[in-house]
Amino acid sequence: MSPSPRVLRRCVAVTAATLAAVTVAAAPASAAARPATTDVRLITFNDFHGNLEPPTGSSGRVTLPGGATVNAGGAAYLATHVKQLESEVSNSLLLSAGDNIGASPVASALFHDEPTVDFLNELGVQASAVGNHEFDEGYRELQRMQFGGCHPVDGCQFRDTYTGARFPFLGANVAFDNGTPALLPFTVKVSGGQPIGIIGATLKDLPTVVSAEAIKGLEFGDEVEAINRTSGWLDRLGVKAQVVLLHQGDNATGGPDDCRVNAGPATRIAKSVSASVDAIFTGHSHQQYNCQITDPAGNPRPVVQGLSFGRLLSVVDLKIDKRTRDVVRSATVAHNEVVTRDVTPDPAAAKLVGEAVTKAAPIANKQIGTITADLKAAGAPSGESTLGDVIADAQLDATAANGAQIVMTNPGGIRADLTYASSPAGEGDGVVTYGEAFTVQPFANIMQTITLTGANLKNVLEQQWTATGTRVLQISATLHYTYSASAPIGSKVSGITVGGKPVDPAATYRVSVNNFLAGGGDGFTEFTKGTDLAGGPVDLDALIAYFGAHSPVAPPAADRITVTP
């Protein structure tokens, strides 16, 4: 893959804009007494995932201190809150920490997320980091999202034309395999007469969470190295106020402004990146936190994240010294603002959302089946979930012709609950629509059946536990096993049975997984040892067919995985 001339031209343009901004900011001031600092407000969201309509279930709530919850999110409400926050401080910038698109509900995804980009343009987003989901359909599609043009296969379906994002997608650590930058590493925005450098970076482990074909020819470097390199460029250009949009995060507990984080990759990065960086907005982990983490020079700086789906806005208020053009770090104030639904929806945003919902409705509102109760994506203490069980069973049905004996699927591919209560579309209690199923499984992963030995199968199950965390695979009713919570990593699993019979390490078994897992996604490298691959349907089609054949579907008993001390 050759370097993009557009990327190179935009790098030159950004550099020129930076120099111009610095020149303007450095112009001599009059002798008249003026405030010594300029107030600038940064407003950021992360992991929006095309949630134009208010998200439902647990995905549409924010947990407050003390455990109470409040409904939150929805593009029209998000726009109202953004405008209110902007009205409070005259110099404001709206930013995103990535995953604006991809894994989106049907009203956006049916149109290749063009409605979401149009919404973000209208909202006034100034810059965004790239998340892993910006690469779901490959680099060329990401370039189309940036620069515009109709989809090469489906054409322009949402509107007659698609003009692209009016804000840059940033990725300081994204390069072609020849070392040439594949994306802009930074941009500079002038607010209140002060230049502010905005650096974007995505997770270096992106290849483990995106299909190999989608990122062929790309490399993802270390986040700290890329941020520090870019920060150094900004320093040399005289851009002293710097912030990072980082698509990487930690896990946390507590309310929106708590800092009870389980120190992970975001904390590691925040402790190590250049002291020139004044604030770090994070994403990817869909958590809420507001922390002060000390930089390498010993000074605290805010590190924040605002959940996902437009439920929170992360706000950092800066004071910038007019003489030095640097942030007065001691005066920085940060908070997470809940995007409540008790405000008047923004009319322009509501109109755009209504257009997308109306155009998607003939497909989205089609009934595919029924359920007797909620099917939850969240797992029981074992990690097994009722929705995961149903999806795995559906995929087993769909790949029976390949000789499949068991199915294993990744929990990250299950994006929402299926709720018994009717949605606002009014389809009725217990009815499952195409749009709801699409929201659950939006990736269009292809089912593949491979042959593994019993020893391979044991190794796959052991790979659910790593030093960096746990990912419990969802499994079909034909597979059962036990794991010990206290046993060391690599020796947790026992009592594996397939079809009620103990697994023989030397025997072979036909196992269906999606193409993401078959390629070793989520760190399950043992799947790459599979042989005799046979293709199957798209995962969503398997789920739709299952509901058509088995409705009403009841929540299965969570008895496939047993946990011992």
Residue 451 phi, psi dihedral angles, 5° rounding: -105, 125
Q: List the pLDDT tens digit at each of the 565 positions of the chain.
A: 334 555 545 554 655 555 555 554 444 444 456 789 999 999 999 999 999 999 887 789 999 998 899 999 999 999 999 999 999 999 999 999 999 999 888 999 999 999 999 999 999 999 999 999 999 999 999 999 999 999 999 999 899 999 999 999 999 999 999 999 999 999 999 999 999 999 999 999 999 888 888 999 999 999 999 999 999 999 999 999 999 999 999 988 889 999 999 888 999 999 999 999 999 999 998 899 999 999 999 999 999 999 999 999 999 999 999 999 999 999 999 999 999 999 999 999 999 999 999 999 999 999 999 999 999 998 889 999 999 999 999 999 999 999 999 999 999 899 889 999 998 888 999 999 999 999 999 888 889 999 999 999 999 999 999 988 899 999 999 999 999 999 999 999 999 999 999 999 999 999 999 988 988 889 999 999 999 888 888 899 999 999 999 999 999 999 999 999 9
User: Got the DSSP string for 329-342?
Assistant: GGG-EEEEEE-BSS
Number of domains in the chain: 2
User: Domain boundary residue among 347, 377, 392?
Assistant: 347
Whole-Å CA distances, 535 to 31, 541, 561: 75, 14, 27
Q: Write out the two tokens for 466.
A: 């790593």
DSSP label of 499: T
183 and 42 housed in the same domain: yes
> Which CATH number is 330's domain given?
3.60.21.10
110 and 214 housed in the same domain: yes
> Which CATH number is 443's domain given?
3.90.780.10
User: Domain boundary residue among 287, 316, 347?
Assistant: 347
Angle 148-153-158 (CA atoms, 0-180°, nearest 5)? 55
372 and 342 housed in the same domain: no
Residue 63 lies in a domain: yes
Residue 435 lies in a domain: yes
- Give Dmax over CA atoms of the chain in angstroms: 87
335 and 409 housed in the same domain: no
403 and 341 housed in the same domain: no
394 and 342 housed in the same domain: no
- pTM of this structure: 0.84
17 and 87 housed in the same domain: yes
300 and 424 housed in the same domain: no
DSSP label of 26: T
462 and 545 housed in the same domain: yes
Residue 278 lies in a domain: yes
Whole-Å CA distances, 460 to 210, 271, 491, 520: 19, 34, 12, 10
388 and 457 housed in the same domain: yes
Domain ranges, residue 226: 5-22+37-347
311 and 383 housed in the same domain: no
287 and 374 housed in the same domain: no
